Amino acid sequence: MWKKVIKIVTVISLVISLIIVWSIDDWSQTSQGKLPSKTAVILHAINNNLVSLNTNIEIPDFLSPKKTSTNGAKLLRQDQTIPLQNGKELPVRIYRYSNADNAPVILYFHGGAFMEGYGSLETHDNIIRTLAARTGAVVISPEYRVAPQYVFPVAVNDSYLTLEWAHKNAETFGGNPKKIAVAGDSAGGNLAAVTALQARYRRARIVRTNTVLPINNI
């Protein structure tokens, strides 16, 4: 009897496993290509209201604004744009203290699966703001362009362009162009890593050839 039960359980488990695999493969298919399995599962859950999606991400304890020393300075927020080709502009958000002088600069790239509707400057505003409040750094965060309207490598190019712009304009915001760090979460963490690698690669090429490579050559 127990052998039959084991066989039945095994068959049912196999069928369920096949259904799950088939479903994940189906969720992974998009007009822009195939998504990683983990990303597909998360997006399916969000799209079908299986998990709640808060408008603001909860701030980790280490980013809590308590015990912040401002010396009477105000935390300023500034929204502006970086000019792109064809007359387009890339929105960026900047947080800094009013007394910022030669402060380090942090480029923060928000997460969001590289897809529209899953992350923005608004959903991550609390993280950007609190990062500036706790560190005293000038924090610059770009609204890099994402799928489905913009596909790879647009987000990568936007991120590196922001780094170039930040280096050129850091002193305007009280930042130090020689002290720039990159950071991010999820997709933004990916962009931070790629931006850092590009900076190292391009610097090496500049040293060898004494020329600056255009973004499209990377």
DSSP symbol at 102: S
DSSP symbol at 215: G
Beta bridge partners of 83: 89
Interatomic CA distance for residues 164 and 158, integer angstroms: 10
Name the token pair of 79.
Answer: 């929204």
Residue 173 has a pLDDT of: 93
Residue 12 has a pLDDT of: 79
H or E stretch at 75: strand 75-83
- Which ranges in the chain belong to alpha helices (H)? 2-28, 37-47, 125-135, 154-169, 187-209
What's the one-letter identity of residue 106?
I
The gap between the terminal CA atoms of the chain, to the nearest Å, is 65
Per-residue pLDDT for the chain (218 aa), expressed as one digit of tens each?
666 667 676 767 777 777 776 676 676 666 656 666 666 666 666 666 665 555 555 655 655 555 455 667 799 999 999 998 888 999 999 999 989 889 999 999 999 888 888 889 998 998 899 999 989 999 999 999 998 889 889 999 999 999 999 999 999 999 999 999 999 999 999 999 999 999 888 775 544 444 444 444 33
Given the structure tokens 């298919």, which residue do they identify? 29
What's the one-letter identity of residue 215?
I
Determine contact, residues 148/31, Cβ cutoff 8 Å: yes
Residue 50 has a pLDDT of: 64
Of the CATH numbers 3.40.50.1820, 1.20.120.1200, 3.30.360.10, 2.60.40.10, which one belongs to the domain with range 57-65+74-217? Answer: 3.40.50.1820
Residue 73 has a pLDDT of: 79
Residue 71 has a pLDDT of: 67
Beta bridge partners of 91: 81
Interatomic CA distance for residues 198 and 193, integer angstroms: 9
Determine contact, residues 75/96, Cβ cutoff 8 Å: yes
Residue 140 has a pLDDT of: 96
Kindly list the domain boundaries of the chain, sorted by start residue: 1-53, 57-65+74-217
Could you give phi then psi for residue 149, rounded to 5 degrees?
Answer: -70, -35
Which residues fall within 8 angstroms of residue 24, CB to CB, at 6 or more apart?
37, 40, 41
